[in-house]
Amino acid sequence: MIKPVVAIHGGAGAMSRAAMSADAERGYRDALSHVLLGAQAVMAKGGSALDCVVHAVSLLEDCPLFNAGKGAVFTSAGTHELDASIMDGATLNSGAVANLAHVKHPVLAALAVLKHSKHVFFVAEGAEEFALAQGLEMVANDYFSTPHRREQWLRVVNDFPGQAILDHDAALAVAEQAPLDPDRKFGTVGAVAVDANGNLAAATSTGGVTNKQIGRVGDAPLIGAGCYAANRTAAVSTTGTGEMFIRMVAAYDVAAMMEYAGLSLEQAAHKVVHEKLPTIQGQGGLIAVDAMGNVTMPFNTEGMYRGYAKQGEAPFVAIYR
């Protein structure tokens, strides 16, 4: 029997240029701990790795501190489009959705695709119709808005008209009470887990990038790029410059190097994040676990909201290197 483990991330990026207050940093750490404790509770009740990652990402989607669900960034049209994916390492079944506008929990829509559809990936209106047919909770698009995200969008619109600002590209002079600079941060959330039976699962969710063109899709909902899980190798969830992670098929590449080159989880993840992605200016990080309960959380930016929890142990959370 394996000791169950869950790991989560809330995005990677540069340290805030604002003077960081202890209270503000504690808020992010407390949020990460809250999610990990919730996921631990699922495992303690005999939940599967799939149950665990769904619960963890749902909690992250509910937290306005992170760019997924409530607190998602704004598109160029002043709206929100959300993406998510999930994969079961035991069966290789997966589900993904993109460009959602009204589904409260995109990860639940991805799970519904995995469980109730012969297809893998739904987008836009078709994804919303499928989610509605599955009885998922729907909300008005402005449910995802927060004053902070609107302010962030308006800065980009005014200072960089017509541009979609990836967080690492924005040189916006603004004082923010957040451990990672919100204008230089990759906004994605994710979870990976291994349960007592050695089964793996991964899930990823995002609100995209600020002022993105309508219809743009990054790596988060793409199986193999932003999310991957296979019992024989690893469960992986990524966060970073989406287009680069797509081009590198980053999540699957970790598993592929483990299977075909015999690398350990740590070695494979390090190679992807610190050697391969930088060759095409790929910035960000990933979280991963294997069937033996090993965990790795590498990133090539200044910080990454991250943490893990082993069953029966206190959660570990961190932000900076």
**Whole-angstrom Cα distance, residue 7 to residue 270?**
17
Q: Are 12 and 189 in contact (CB under 8 A)?
A: no
- Let me know: does 25 contact 319? Beta carbons within 8 Å: yes
Q: Binding site: which residues?
A: 216-219, 239-242
Of 188, 204, 206, 301, which residue is the catalytic one? 188
Select from 292, 256, 290 the least CA-distant residue to 271: 256
- Cα(310)–Cα(5) distance, integer angstroms: 4
- Tell me the three state secondary structure of residue 13: strand
Token pair of 4 as six digits: 């169950």
- Alpha carbon distance 235, 94 (integer Å): 12
Q: Side chain identity at 207, as an amino acid letter?
A: G
Helices (H), 45-180: 49-62, 106-116, 124-133, 147-159
Q: Are 272 and 253 in contact (CB under 8 A)?
A: yes
Q: Is the Cα torsion angle 282, 286, 290, 294 positive or negative in sign? A: positive
Q: How many CA atoms lie within 13 A of 247 on its CB side?
A: 13
Write out the binding residues for substrate.
216-219, 239-242
**Residue 296 annotated as catalytic:** no
Q: How far apart are the first and last CA of the chain?
A: 32
* Residues 6 or more apart in contact with residue 146 via CB below 8 angstroms: 64, 70, 71
Which residues are designated catalytic?
188
